[in-house]
Amino acid sequence: MHTRLIKIDPEHPDMALIDEAAQVIRAGGTVAFPTETVYGLGANGLDGHAVCKIFKAKGRPSDNPLILHIATLNELRPLVRDLSAQADKLIRLFWPGPLTLVLPRSKQVPDEVTGGLDTVAVRMPDHIVAQLLIAKAGVPIAAPSANRSGRPSPTCAAAVWEDLHGKIDLLIDGGSGGIGVESTVLDVTKDIPVLLRPGGITLEELRDTLGEIAFDSSLALESAVPKAPGMKYTHYAPRARVILIEGEQPLSPKILQTFVDAERQKGTQVGALLTEEMASLVRADVVHTMGSARQPLSIAARLFGALRDFDNTQVEVIFAEGISEEGIGLAIMNRLRKAAGCNVIKV
C-alpha cells in the first residue's frame, strides 16, 4: 500500500486537503491525523469493515475497544442510548478536550469499535485539523493512537511514518502534538464514575467536578477484560527493556546509579530516562531527559518521543525515573508502568 503524506498548517488549514482526507475516510480508508493529545489513526466509525483496517495496520488485538471522535454534540446522540447528568456536566466543562467518556452504546455503533461491549468510548478533540476532518467526513471517526501496537504513541508525523507507512492510506502532518499523552477515559455508566485511563484531564479535576471518582484497579491486569481503549496489553514500549524505579520523591540519584552500574558490570548497554533535575547526576551509556520534575506537563509532552529516541541507540536496558503522581503525573506514571510491563522496582 502507498501511504500519501500531506502537510496541513493548523494555523491556516487548507480546506482542499482536509476534503481530500475526508474523502479517504468516507471511502472506507485510513487516515492518520493530529489531535491535541497524540496522533490518531482514523477510519469511518460506523463502517465495521473500515474499522478492521485500523486493527490490521496497527497489529492491534480486535478485542481492544476504540474511541469514536466527534466534532459536534449533535453527532453524539445517535451513538448512545442515554446521557446522564454527570456526563452532561463533564461535556459542558471539558469538551472539546482530552476527555473520553464511556457511555451506553446505541445499535448504530458496530461491534468492531466496542470490542463487543455494550458501551462506547466517545470524545471531541480540541484540535482544528481533527475537528475539520471529522466535520468534512460527516461521520464519527474511530481512532486509536497512530502507532504499531505496543510502541510509544506518536506525537509527531515522523513517528507515525516510522511505524505505519505502507500500511495506511494517508498521513496528515499537522506539526507536533500538544499534551503528549492520550485522553483521560472515564466510565460514566456507573453511579460512581470510574477512571479507566488517566490522561490529559487530571483525577483532581474530575473529583472537583463530580466528587467521588473510583479508580479501576484492573488497569494493571493483563488478564482483565478491557473496558475501554488502552486497558489491555503492553503499551508504549521501545525496543529495549524498560525498568521503572519508583519511590519517595525525589528519588536518590545514588540509588538510580546503583542499578545502572550493576547492569553495566554485566556488559549491558544501559540507558537512563531521567528528569532534567536528575540527568546530570546519573551516568549511563545513554541518557535522555523527559522534562522537568517541576513542570510535569513538559514530561507529558516529551515522554513518548524520549522513549522512541532510545531506538536509535544500542542500549539493551533503560532505567526510567518515577515521578510524583499528582496532576498529570498520574498519567505519566501509568504510561511508564505500561512501558515497563512487570519490570518495576520500588525503593
Domain annotation covers residue 231? no
Q: Model pTM?
A: 0.94
Residues in the chain: 347
Provide mean pLDDT across the span 190-206: 96
The verdict on 191 and 324 lying in the same domain is: no
Over 90: is that where the pLDDT of 29 sits? Answer: yes
- The answer to whether residue 234 is domain-embedded is no
CB 270 within 8 Å of CB 317: yes
Q: Write down the pLDDT at residue 101.
A: 98
193 and 291 part of one domain: no
- For residues 153 and 81, membership in a common domain is answered with yes
CA distance to 41, 246, 340, per residue, from 253 (Å): 39, 12, 20
Same domain, 42 and 73: yes
Question: Worst-scoring range by mean pLDDT, 37-41, 60-64, 100-104, 109-113?
Answer: 60-64
CA distance 8 to 15: 9
Torsional class of 148: left (φ above 0), alpha (ψ -120 to 50), beta (otherwise): beta
Residue ending a domain, choose from 154, 189, 220? 220
| Domain edge (last residue) among 220, 252, 271 | 220
Alpha carbons 86 and 190: distance in angstroms, whole number:
10
Same domain, 193 and 270: no
Which residues does 222 contact at the CB level (< 8 Å), separation at least 6? 232, 233, 234
Is the domain of 250 the same as that of 191? Answer: no
- Cα 268 from Cα 319, distance rounded (Å): 12
Confidence of residue 226 (pLDDT cuts 50, 70, 90): very low
pLDDT at 216: 82
Residue 23 to residue 184: CA distance in whole angstroms = 29
Q: Are 103 and 82 contacting, i.e. CB atoms less than 8 angstroms apart?
A: yes
Domain-located, residue 50: yes
Q: What is the Cα–Cα distance from 56 to 134, expressed in whole angstroms?
A: 22
Please indicate, yes or no, if residue 229 is contained in any of the structural domains.
no
Confidence of residue 219 (pLDDT cuts 50, 70, 90): low
Looking at the fold, whether 160 and 290 belong to one and the same domain comes out as no
pLDDT at 232 over 70: no
Distance from the Cα of residue 126 to its chain's centroid:
15
324 in a structural domain: yes
pLDDT at 65 over 50: yes
Q: H-type helices in 95-150, by residue range?
A: 111-114, 128-137
205 lies in the same domain as 285: no
The DSSP annotation for 11-53 comes to: TS--HHHHHHHHHHHHTT--EEE--SSS-EEEEETT-HHHHHH
Selection from 57, 30, 33, 55 nearest residue 44 by Cα: 30
Q: How many independent structural domains does the chain possess?
A: 2
What domain range is 137 assigned to? 4-220
65 and 172 housed in the same domain: yes
**Same domain, yes or no: 70 and 27:** yes
The 3-state secondary structure of 317-343, one letter per residue: EEEEECCCCCCCHHHHHHHHHHHHCCC
Task: For residue 225, tell me if it sits in a domain.
Answer: no
CATH number, domain with residue 137: 3.90.870.10
What number of helices (H) and strands (E) belong to the chain?
Answer: 11, 16
Q: How confident is the model at residue 220 (pLDDT cuts 50, 70, 90)?
A: very low
151 and 14 co-located in one domain: yes
* CATH number (domain holding residue 325): 3.40.50.11030
47 and 169 belong to one structural domain: yes
Nearest CA to 148 among 68, 9, 55? Answer: 55
Cα(77)–Cα(116) distance, integer angstroms: 20
Longest dimension (CA), the chain: 61
Q: What is the pLDDT of residue 330?
A: 97
pLDDT digits (tens, 9 = 90+) for 112-171: 999 999 999 999 999 999 999 999 999 999 999 999 999 999 999 999 999 999 999 999
Q: How confident is residue 230, by pLDDT bands cut at 50, 70 and 90?
A: very low
**Cell matching residue 202:** 487530571
Q: How many CB atoms lie within 10 A of CB 129?
A: 22
Distance of CA 250 to the CA centre of its chain: 26
Q: What is the pLDDT of residue 177?
A: 72
Question: Is 134 among the domain residues?
Answer: yes
Tell me, yes or no, whether 131 lies in a domain. Answer: yes
Residue at a domain's end among 191, 220, 249: 220
3-class SS of residue 306: helix
Asked if the model's pLDDT at residue 228 lies above 70, the reply is: no
Which amino acid would we find at residue 240? A
